[in-house]
Structure 1
Amino acid sequence: MRPRSGPTVEHRVLAARLRIFRERAGVSLQAAAVALGAHPATVRRIERAETGLDAHQVRVLLERYAVSAAEAEPVMTGLTAANLPGWWHRWRDAMEPWQQEVIGIESSASLVRTWHPALVPELLRTPAYEAALCRSLEADTPPKRDRHLELLGERQRRLEERGAAVWALLPAAALHTRVGGPAVMAEQRAVLEEAAHRPHLTVQVVPLDFPPHPMTGVPPLHLLRVPAPEIGDRAVLETPGARVDIIDEPAAVMDFRMRMDGACAAAPHPGSPLPDGGGSAGNP
């Protein structure tokens, strides 16, 4: 079985297919559990990707759902990959459970949209900016902070390597909130300016003198889209008190997406100069 590090997208896809097969066959959770000789909660955990996929259990369920050989074969052959730990598994000592779930989705996302109401969004932060922020918030011990920085760098590298699109929206206040010293902020600003030359990265900065927009007052928000029909979009909302809500209800996710769309439409076009005479930010 895969060591617990949060489900990978491969795992989520197979789990969702098992649920779809069951519902298509009109089989209840109770009836599926009887076929397994288990409790209905076991079937529910399998379908929610909360437990490893056991080949015997999966085979029994596919037979109970009368799934054809043509549909069952890719499920069975995909079990090995689905049960492998995610690449982030080696950093699980520096992660919260919710981070494992989010990064599990982010690792296969084709589009990540992100907003922060006061700071540079995490996926755009330089190591020095992130380290200074952690120190100022006293968020981690030095060893855990180092592991956190390694993980963030790996997340950024893998997104760029896969060509995933990252679209970030931030207020100009983030450029005035001093994190670290002047050198840290200068480097961070240079990274935002350099975004104009990176094909999969878009940055929009809302000037200080702009009127309120649909994201005004909204806590840090991330919208994740995975190119797999079995997995819907996710909204990750970092609410006050270190609480994080991972939202998959389509109507709620759509509401956040429309808010983000409205705010991006109101903000200066990507490629506009950074406030206070900086360079440009985003794709032209």
Structure 2
Amino acid sequence: MRPRSGPTVEHRVLAARLRTLRERAGVSLHAAARALDAHPATVRRIERAETGLDARQVRTLLDRYGVPAAEAEPIMTGLGAANLPGWWHEWRDAMEPWQQEVIGIESSASLVRTWHPALVPELLRTPAYAAALCRTRYPADTPARRDRRVELLGQRQRRLAERGATLWALLPAAALHTRVGDAGVMAEQRAMLAEAADRPHLTVQIVPLDAPPHPMTAVPPLHLLRVPVPEVGDRAVLETPGGRADVVDDPGTVMEHRIRLDGACAAAPHPGAPLPYDPPAP
């Protein structure tokens, strides 16, 4: 059964390890499935971290692959931690389906790069700014569910900062002119961005209104996530209309997005430059 709140990085690492051991042993998916008396799709789901890691199945697979005890026991020992739900499990009522996978990776990422073409990126939003957006984006939600969405975002921001992960955000100056909420909400949001330059592990670049087109011009919201373990590759998350997103793990495609974002960041003012915003005349 697929984990209801998305797999943790520990789960992904063990699943990838099982795939590597099978390939190293030269055992096909069909042969592994016969050892389990199951369909090959079952083995594929285990290796993709799309289902819980059952101890009996894992032990059978390790035996079939001829894994020595010294190598197999750490894997068996790690099953308990890998099957634990992530901290975000209790917030699943406030999450979109695609966020379950993204937050699972983000929670162990050492680097998060983010771009939004029109608004302040979510990991830099103040609670008031996020709440105002929720009222617009989720009009059918109850006030309680919108509050949960804002609380979840706050948890993500706090945990990212506590781990010392690097957050690098790029946004257009137009985001500072788009009024979300009232003038007080915008003033608080701009003040937060202004002091962001003094925060460790945080880089904010803002593209001026009069800047020429750059490689990210008109590109939907993009997030690049890097986890410092070889078994979990980088992810690119490209948001699409309707509250959906494409989560990409193909290395070539992720590299294309990274090159595009690198080009836009290189063309933007140096981090720490004053906010390109002139408040309206009274």
Question: What residue in structure 2 maps to residue 111 of structure 1?
Answer: 111
TM-score by length of 2: 0.96
Q: Deviations over 1:26-63 (max 9, x none)?
A: 11100000011111111011001011001111011011
Aligned residue type for 2:60: V
Q: Hey, what's the Cα distance between the residues in 1 that align with 2:38 and 2:142?
A: 43
Shift, 1:136, TM fit: 2.2
Shift, 1:95, TM fit: 1.1
1:164 aligns with 2:165: yes
Q: Hey, what's the Cα distance between the residues in 2 that align with 1:228 and 1:217?
A: 32
Name the SS of the counterpart of 2:170 in structure 1: strand
Question: What residue in structure 1 maps to residue 31 of structure 2?
Answer: 31
- Given that 2:3 and 2:51 are in contact with CA atoms closer than 8 Å, whether structure 1 keeps it comes out as no
Shift, 1:135, TM fit: 1.1
Gaps of 5+ in 2: none
Question: What residue in structure 2 maps to residue 241 of structure 1?
Answer: 242
Q: Hey, what's the Cα distance between the residues in 2 that align with 1:137 and 1:232?
A: 31
Name the SS of the counterpart of 1:276 in structure 2: coil
Gaps of 5+ in 1: 279-284
Aligned residue type for 1:269: H
Shift, 1:2, TM fit: 9.2
Q: In terms of mean alpha carbon deviation, does 72-81 or 160-169 score higher?
A: 72-81
Name the SS of the counterpart of 2:277 in structure 1: helix
Question: What residue in structure 1 maps to residue 263 of structure 2?
Answer: 262
Name the SS of the counterpart of 2:167 in structure 1: strand
Q: Hey, what's the Cα distance between the residues in 1 that align with 2:14 and 2:158?
A: 27
Query: RMSD value over aligned CA atoms?
Result: 1.4
- Given that 2:176 and 2:277 are in contact with CA atoms closer than 8 Å, whether structure 1 keeps it comes out as no
Aligned residue type for 1:25: A
Name the SS of the counterpart of 2:210 in structure 1: coil
- Given that 2:173 and 2:277 are in contact with CA atoms closer than 8 Å, whether structure 1 keeps it comes out as no
Q: Deviations over 1:192-229 (max 9, x none)?
A: 01111111110000000000001011000000000110
Shift, 1:277, TM fit: 5.6
Show structure 1 runs of 4+ deviating over 3 A: none
Aligned residue type for 1:99: Q
Spell out the pairing of 1:1-284 with structure 2 (5 A cutoff): 4-139=4-139, 140-276=141-277
Q: Deviations over 1:63-102 (max 9, x none)?
A: 1111122221221111000000000000111112211110
Q: Deviations over 1:102-161 (max 9, x none)?
A: 000000000000000000000000000011111123343211101111100000000000
- Given that 2:115 and 2:171 are in contact with CA atoms closer than 8 Å, whether structure 1 keeps it comes out as yes
TM-score by length of 1: 0.95
- Given that 2:220 and 2:240 are in contact with CA atoms closer than 8 Å, whether structure 1 keeps it comes out as yes
Name the SS of the counterpart of 2:237 in structure 1: strand
Q: How many residues align?
A: 278
- Given that 1:2 and 1:84 are in contact with CA atoms closer than 8 Å, whether structure 2 keeps it comes out as no
Q: Given the superposition, is the C-alpha separation of residues 31 and 3 from structure 1 closer, same or farther in structure 2, using an over 3 Å criterion? A: closer
Q: Deviations over 1:204-257 (max 9, x none)?
A: 000000000010110000000001100100000002233310000000000000
Q: Deviations over 1:169-204 (max 9, x none)?
A: 000000000000110000000110111111111000
